Structure 1
Amino acid sequence: MASKTRTALIVGASRGLGLALAREYLARGWHVIATVRSDKRTDLHDVQTGARDRLDIVHVDINEPEQINALHAGLRKRPLDLLFVNAGIASDAETPIGQISAEAFAEVMINNALSPLRFIEIFHELVRSDGTIVAMSSGLGSVANNTEGGWESYRASKAALNTLLRSYAARQVDDTRTYLLMDPGWVRTDMGGPQATLGVEESVPRVVDVVEAQAGKGGLRFLNYQGRTVAW
């Protein structure tokens, strides 16, 4: 008997890590529902040609609660094996915290911490009881490993993401789902820059391997793309 096709919802898949995640899960035989913020054509749309009806592209701005609720209503009859929230920004990342504007700081915190957790809060019920919920974090979100400073607003937003998901998971009494915060490494994307140590093709398949290895284990873990625990 053929195995059932698993379904992943990947949030923030128009480019970079999210686009690579969509491609990787498609290559592994999954059905992928992938979100983009803009209604303009993206590189993700080019992937549809070879996806054989296994890729659905939906438009949602996760900073807009009404759009999240509308997407939830549209997908409420489609159980998910995986929810992977990848959306995030790094505005004014190199500006010292004492010099960044309140508006820029709020924008980073909303995009990287508040909106991902709000999305998870709304969508977690669509994830199967043995499914997995993942938020893309960063090694820069580790407070314990912050020995050099820099990228302060971005670090703060990812540390906030980690704390909020940890708090959320702690509230889910008897929840058998697996929760993961993933550090993909320093990757050559628009955000990571050309000096980063990893290509997308090196990071993303290993991220997916780690997520697959953790499936069904339950609980919450902060792991990197090599499957190693990252200090909080």
Structure 2
Amino acid sequence: MENTKHALIIGASRGLGLGLANTLAERGWQVTATTRNTLPECHAAINWLTLDINDAAQRSTVKQSLNDKQFEVIFVNAGVFGPAHQDLKQTSDEEMLSLFITNTISPVRCAAELQPLLAADSGILALMSSQLGSLSENPSGAYPLYSASKAALNMLSHQLRESTDPQRQTLLCVHPGWVQTDMGGSDATLTVSQSVNGLADQLDKWRGKGGHHYIDYAGNQLAW
């Protein structure tokens, strides 16, 4: 079992996070995953931890519980869509703050705090972003509140290179595609299985590449 790869998936109670955790476990990875509440139905080999990424004390507790571990992949998936209307004029300051804390600030803080657990040279630190977070890829400005939170995630995550570059690790902001989840809706073009199998493929493909890259589930590089 010396060649077993280890992955830590932050935010895996449902949807893409759960799908990715199951897929990696099925491929023989040793997977640790987090959930805020009850455990979902999942692959029996997944090791579960409790974490609300917006809770600094819980982030510290999870980090301490994993201090003797090393991971080839740390994937921060947690996030929300925000107000359904996606209209700034209808949105309170409190709603905007909650959206940006959950989609931008806490994921980047979580990634920064966990980065010391990532393997040097081959390690991948990935954050779930969106194609919508790019002005080039989303010229119409669709879903502006959600998109703005992902654009901010892309920018703030770039600072993580200060830690990943010296360790020759690879930093990824990842677009999963338009997926049939609670967030993506039933009209989406991809199933969860199609998306997460693509994501799992990229976690193998990008090992050892280094740098900071904005890609989709199929490996296409996106314009920032």
Q: CA deviation at 1:167?
A: 2.2
SS at match of 2:47: strand
What code does the residue aligned with 2:83 have? Answer: D
Aligned to 1:143: 135
Change (3 A) 1:105 1:15: same
Aligned to 1:217: 209
Q: How does 1:1-232 map onto structure 2 within 5 Å?
A: 3-38=2-37, 40=38, 42-43=39-40, 46-48=41-43, 51=44, 54-129=45-120, 130-170=122-162, 172-232=164-224
| Counterpart-to-counterpart distance in 2, 1:173 and 1:211 | 18
SS at match of 1:162: helix
Q: CA deviation at 1:81?
A: 1.1
| Counterpart-to-counterpart distance in 2, 1:170 and 1:74 | 25
- Alpha carbons 1:60, 1:71 under 8 Å: kept: yes
Q: CA deviation at 1:173?
A: 5.0
Aligned residues: 223
SS at match of 1:32: strand
Deviation string 1:34-84 (CA, Å, 9 cap, x unpaired) is 00011x2x42xx224xx3xx3111001110111100111110001111100
Root-mean-square deviation over aligned CA pairs: 1.4
What code does the residue aligned with 1:165 have? Answer: S
| Counterpart-to-counterpart distance in 1, 2:165 and 2:179 | 35
| Counterpart-to-counterpart distance in 1, 2:92 and 2:127 | 26
TM-score normalised per structure 2: 0.95
| Counterpart-to-counterpart distance in 1, 2:2 and 2:56 | 35
SS at match of 2:124: strand
Instruction: Identify unmatched segments of 5+ residues in structure 2.
Output: none
| Counterpart-to-counterpart distance in 2, 1:126 and 1:3 | 18
| Counterpart-to-counterpart distance in 2, 1:19 and 1:135 | 15
More moved, 105-114 vs 164-173: 164-173
- Alpha carbons 1:93, 1:152 under 8 Å: kept: no
TM-score normalised per structure 1: 0.92
Change (3 A) 1:161 1:93: farther
| % identity of equivalent residues | 39
| Counterpart-to-counterpart distance in 1, 2:153 and 2:94 | 19
SS at match of 1:47: coil
| Counterpart-to-counterpart distance in 2, 1:173 and 1:28 | 28
| Counterpart-to-counterpart distance in 2, 1:8 and 1:125 | 14
SS at match of 2:90: coil
SS at match of 1:128: coil
Q: CA deviation at 1:30?
A: 0.6
| Counterpart-to-counterpart distance in 2, 1:174 and 1:22 | 28
Q: CA deviation at 1:15?
A: 0.2
What code does the residue aligned with 1:174 have? Answer: P
Q: CA deviation at 1:148?
A: 1.7
What code does the residue aligned with 1:206 have? Answer: G
